[in-house]
Structure 1
Amino acid sequence: MGESALVTGASGFLGGHVVRDLRAHGYAVTAAGRRAAALPEGATFVGDLDDLARFDLPVDVVVHCAALSSPWGRWSEFEHANVTGTARAFEYARRVGARRFVHVSSPGIYAAPRDRVAIREHEVDPSRPMNHYIRSKLHAEALLRAASGRSDRSDRNDRNDRPEVVVLRPRGIIGPGDPALVPRLLRVHERVGVPLMHGGRGLVDLTAVENVALAVRLAAEVPEAAGRAFNITNGDPRPFVDLLDQLLTGLGLPLRHRRLPARVVYGVAGLLEAVCGVLPGRPEPPVTRYTVSTITHSQTLDITRAREVLGYEPTVTLDESLASYASGADRA
């Protein structure tokens, strides 16, 4: 296509995949991130999002992957990284004349301590975020709606000098090199065994990282995507226990489960959060209410809009992604 892009968070798991996918499809990509050694080869910008104010390279598209993602932490840290950081990235896109700003948000904004199935993009309740990370992602999306002069239902013929915004909400990103989702599960498995509430039958939506990179590229290119938000998953929700056992089997690990009552575990998690919240340094609790909710209750996303507007169809299956992770772990 001959277009140019800047990808924030390019030293991270998703950002690195996005950089490689865009380059494979003809984009001239500047990879922006704080960890120089982890940035993909090629044109790079080393620094945090505040440093973008001193960078003037014109690009057609800005893809904002950078974020502080954790179930625990101080609000000030999440606000600076995910709210102020998003404002910095959008201001850069506006200043250099980018036509589109693709923002990687989170389906955590749908989280609730109950089953939610086939969630559509508009089904967000911003009044009760389950943690500071989710609160910061809600604030970032609201900031972009205000800054771009658009909303999910706005007039897409409205033209101004600000970049068009597209928001993606990818669920449970997995694949080779995953530094967060699977490693967290494996640490719990090694220590005590993964807790299963309701028999682990709650449905989980996951997304192969390659499919998220595909969705990012489509969000950058499809004209009709402007001003809209899109759920992104593999479209293949499965019971948590089935995915867990498939992963452990692939890694050659024993199937260690702990069947526990959900209400008790949720209460213990709340108590641990209260205790850790007043300890020096506010250490992360062994388990949080948000984490308990994600493995207890079904949460699946409806990706009809992504299919119909973006033309998105997953190209890497969950089975392939889990096998690829296991293979990479073996090599490591």
Structure 2
Amino acid sequence: MSGARVLVTGASGFLGGHVVPELQTHGYEVFAAGRNEPALERVADEGHRVLGDLASLRLRDLPVDAVIHCAALSAPWGRWRDFREANIDGTGHVIEFARRNRVRRVVHVSSPSVYAAPRDRVDIRESEVDRANRLNGYIRSKIAAEDLLLEALDCGTIPELVIVRPRGLIGVGDPSLVPRLLDVHARIGVPVFDGGENVIDVTAVENVASALRLALTRGDAAGGVYNITNDDPRRFRELLTILLERMGETPRFRPMNRRTAWALASTLEWACSVLPWQPEPPLTRYTLSTIAYSQTLDITRAKTELGYRPEVSLDDALAGVAAHLRGNA
């Protein structure tokens, strides 16, 4: 499929901004869609920039062979209507764009947040999803977006569909994961549970971009789902220690009890939900499910069906992030 025309939604964001050059390097003609014009200018020339939101995209006539749908609202807290508009309605707009332009394949970036639960889960397979998970609005919206795409596949609106669930993206330009951890480290120290011995997966953003490129031509086109990680699970405390020490910081950890923290997060969520402006709580149950328990993904399917192999090691990814943050500091 090298040389084919591919539209990347969310190209002005963290992941999409890495996907565009990954495809360009491998000979694809790439159209970068997003709302941040300066960010689009950095990844695509004028004739290949599609400025605007997903609602405007649905009306565009742009014959492409495939769409990689990266655009999403990703947050541990927020108003349901915002998640619905961005992740469910937005996916509906992508489906309409695909129908209008007779797109052959849609590659959808979903989320392993759909596996979130207050317990240890190791080597989770793609089928091990509670589709009634209501831990937060983000999870609900990502499950609903997957369902919407599968319905479009079943009725023939989109001929081919591949779904990718990448875990814990890190890399230069990360707007969420590492900045949030560094912020809480600076304020109170990073919370750890059972000594921070819980094992988690994270993924270099470059590896996710590579997996999405592979999904354009490989994998089960009848709605195949693929977990993506760096295939290098680490203890939570170890990961944070490596990152902080590379930044020249002395790690500060704050031991906490899971049960107490869960009760506190539940109370904070309730209190914030009844306020008119619904501010983000300083601690959420979703955040606890990602840092207080072991969670690792089985990527056997991605290896065998996509031919996926991590190209950037976890240690190199951490070193790159630390060097970038030190330089900006």
| 1:101 is the counterpart of 2:97 | no
The 5 Å alignment of 1:274-289 reads 274-289=270-285
Structure 1 runs of 4+ aligned residues shifted over 6 Å read none
Q: Distance in 1 between matches of 2:245 and 2:28?
A: 39
Q: Distance in 1 between matches of 2:289 and 2:225?
A: 24
Q: Distance in 2 between matches of 1:182 and 1:109?
A: 21
Query: What is the CA-CA distance between 1:226 and the residue it aligns to?
Result: 4.1
What one-letter code is carried by the residue in structure 2 that aligns with 1:91? E
What one-letter code is carried by the residue in structure 2 that aligns with 1:41? A
Q: Distance in 2 between matches of 1:53 and 1:250?
A: 45
Q: Distance in 2 between matches of 1:46 and 1:145?
A: 27
| Unmatched 5+ stretches in structure 2 | none
The residue number in structure 1 matching 2:239 is: 243
Query: What is the CA-CA distance between 1:279 and the residue it aligns to?
Result: 1.4
Query: What is the CA-CA distance between 1:38 and the residue it aligns to?
Result: 1.1
The residue number in structure 1 matching 2:115 is: 110
| 1:142 is the counterpart of 2:138 | no
Q: Distance in 2 between matches of 1:121 and 1:273?
A: 29
Q: Distance in 1 between matches of 2:90 and 2:121?
A: 30
| Unmatched 5+ stretches in structure 1 | 151-159
The residue number in structure 2 matching 1:156 is: none
Query: What is the CA-CA distance between 1:55 and the residue it aligns to?
Result: 1.1
Query: Match of 2:128, SS?
Result: coil
Q: Give a deviation string over 1:192-241, Cα, whole Å, max 9, x none.
A: 00011111111110010010001000100116444200000011111100
Contact conserved, 2:207 with 2:230, CA < 8 A, in 1?
yes
| 1:212 is the counterpart of 2:208 | yes
The 5 Å alignment of 1:1-332 reads 1-39=2-40, 40-42=43-45, 43-149=48-154, 160=156, 162-222=158-218, 224-332=220-328
Q: Distance in 1 between matches of 2:138 and 2:159?
A: 25
Identity %: 57
Query: What is the CA-CA distance between 1:266 and the residue it aligns to?
Result: 1.1
Contact conserved, 2:219 with 2:305, CA < 8 A, in 1?
no
What one-letter code is carried by the residue in structure 2 that aligns with 1:100? R
Query: What is the CA-CA distance between 1:53 and the residue it aligns to?
Result: 2.4
- Quote the RMSD (CA, aligned, Å): 1.1
Query: What is the CA-CA distance between 1:2 and the residue it aligns to?
Result: 1.1
Q: Distance in 2 between matches of 1:128 and 1:221?
A: 31
Q: TM-score if structure 1 supplies the norm length?
A: 0.95
Contact conserved, 1:61 with 1:220, CA < 8 A, in 2?
yes
Contact conserved, 1:105 with 1:168, CA < 8 A, in 2?
yes
Contact conserved, 1:10 with 1:19, CA < 8 A, in 2?
yes
Q: TM-score if structure 2 supplies the norm length?
A: 0.96
